Amino acid sequence: MMFANILLTLFFLFTIACAPAKKEIQISPSPASSLPSSPLPQKPKKRLIQLSNLVPTAELEKRIEQLNILLQKPNLSEQQSKEIKEIINTYSIIKGMGEKGYIDQKGLKAMINILLSSFQKLEGKYVLALQKRPVNISNILESLSQKRQKIIQDYKEGRYMDVVNQCLELKLRYGGYVIGPDLDTIFAISLSEIGMIREAIDTGEKVLQEMALIPQRDILKERLKEWKRSIEETGVPSEEEKGEEAIPEKKEEKVDINFIIISAKRLIEQENFEQALAILNGSKIEDSKEIEELKNKAVEGIINRERNKAAKLFLLARESKDLEKKREYLKTAFRILEALIIQYPDSPFMDRIKENLNKVSEELQALPTAKTPISQ
């Protein structure tokens, strides 16, 4: 809705910019004063267009304020922030022209170019999307049904790597919630079977929050306890804890390296860095330069995203007049940065993260203890 309003405003301004120029009224000399002498050369007058009463500067100011508030939200992506800044810049330029009162031909040309550029961006983002082919819902549902049956069958027959690959493919193609809590439970158990214990815990806990009751709910609860215990003590499932005799090592399942690389790249492009890292770490592929590069890229994406969150919270704390809100913003930023240091100690960004953490820590220590608003 916001972008529709933006489009209408830009169209309105474009129409104004194309309005005819203000006419210059010239008074002809009276016949009585006419002389036979040759006329003096006239210097061409500059044609001006009045904008002060046509450009809605108050409305533009209001929109700029609203967009600046929106820009402060910590959950905006880098692309969203960039687009909002471009809109603010366009509004500011138009508003500045309107405040001048009059505009000459050169200014008019600049204004039209700005509006045309904005229209082209909107066209590229929205109009071209309308040219996509219509989606056949029945075919999608049929494909999902077949995939579900195949995943369940592979799980029953112990083909856990196939289960993981197919679940990831569905999530990538249709979204994270398409497979439902039942298949997500199978996905979590299959992750644990191929050694991806941490990822199994993350997925399993999300499933328990979403589902009310399914046949494997109690199994998942017990398995979560086992996985967490194995992480805390050895990092891998322990057969002694289960009270079982040592069994022969499972036959290594074939890993499709191309599928893993393609899946990881798509997840990184979609900014799903944790899931991409989980796939790459779980592949257990060694001596692959491309896999290592993708791991580093996923870690870099996580660190940049979390540092940006911490930076936005730090700015919110700086601007807040409420002591408790300021303290909470800084504490949240501190926890985010501290978690990065613990999770990625070997990152090349570690010095910057520690520097950011020290800055946040200094701000926290400088806060007064009294629960009163902070004066400027």
Own/partner contacts of 95-98, CB < 8 Å, gap of 24 or more, are: 95/55, 95/57, 95/60, 95/61, 95/64, 97/51, 97/55, 98/51, 98/52, 98/54, 98/55, 98/56, 98/57, 98/60
In tens, the pLDDT along 64-114 reads 888 888 888 777 777 778 888 888 887 787 777 767 666 666 666 666 666
Considering only the top CATH level, what class is 140-233? Answer: mainly alpha
In tens, the pLDDT along 356-368 reads 999 999 988 888 8
Q: How far apart are CA 198 and CA 188, in angstroms?
A: 10
Highest mean pLDDT out of 22-31, 93-102, 232-241:
93-102
Q: Is the model's pLDDT at 216 over the cut of 70?
A: no
pTM above 0.95, yes or no: no
The residue among 284 and 17 whose pLDDT is bigger is 284
User: For residue 50, which phi and psi values (nearest 5 degrees)?
Assistant: -85, 125
pLDDT number for residue 30: 46
pLDDT number for residue 92: 80
Per-domain residue ranges of the chain: 2-18+46-129, 140-233, 287-366
pLDDT number for residue 175: 67
